Structure 1
Amino acid sequence: MKLKLIAALAIAAASPALAFASPSCTAEPKSKWMSEEAMKAKIDTLGYKVKTFEITGNCYEIYGKDKDGKRAEVYFNPVSGEIVQKGD
């Protein structure tokens, strides 16, 4: 019984951390990634206004505003430039 309780508590404690983990965007090496300048240009064509641009794990990540002026947190595949995950 105690083992089940401990296991349940461990899972519950880990769940919030998993919710904030960055997505997996690519398995390609950085030598295959688009340059940051090329990625920023692509993001601009999608209508995003970038406040912060960074590398998070194996993704390009931005914080800024979308084309409607709403806050945006977006993860991009650094090879293809495709959106992998949107958040707020």
Structure 2
Amino acid sequence: MRTLVAGSLAGLIALGTLAPLAAVAGPTCTTETKDKWMTEDAMKAKVAEMGYQKIKTFKVSGSCYEIYGYTKDNKKAEVYFNPVTGAVVKSEID
């Protein structure tokens, strides 16, 4: 019983240590300071011009603007943008 409890405890400690790292494991989109970033309104307009629609979430994520929405082909999209240029840095399309 002791070995099982010790193993479980070690697993929980490892999970607790790694979980915060996973939460911040998004891409690095820019090293520019926020005063150089496009405004949220300007970025939202650019996102719409690129064909993304039905945006459920628009947020700052680390050094990126991030959206959850749909492509113009109605596919689910999670996209990270460079907040200075508006370029796509990483996307996951389902």
Name the TM-score, length of structure 1 as normaliser.
0.77
Decide which of 68, 72, 77 is 1:67's aligned counterpart.
72
Of structures 1 and 2, the larger Rg is shown by 2
Work out the number of aligned pairs and report it: 75
Q: Which residue of 2 aligns with 1:35?
A: 39
Task: State the distance in 2 between where 1:37 and 1:64 align.
Answer: 16
- Whether 2:91 is the aligned partner of 1:86: answer yes
State the secondary structure of the residue aligned to 2:85. Answer: coil
Specify the alignment match of 1:46 in structure 2. 50
Q: What does the per-residue CA deviation read over 1:10-69, in whole Å, with 9 as the maximum and x for residues that have no partner?
A: 8xxx6xx66x81000000000000000000000000000111100000000000000100
Q: Distance in 2 between matches of 1:53 and 1:69?
A: 17
Query: Moved runs in structure 1, 4+ residues, more than 3 A?
Result: none
Where structure 2 has 5 or more consecutive residues not aligned to the other structure, the ranges are 1-13
Between the aligned partners of 1:52 and 1:29, the Cα distance in structure 2 is 23
Counterpart of 2:29?
25
In the alignment, which residue of structure 2 is the partner of 1:3?
none
| In structure 2, C-alpha distance between the alignment counterparts of 1:87 and 1:69, rounded to whole Å | 13
Gaps of 5+ in 1: 1-9
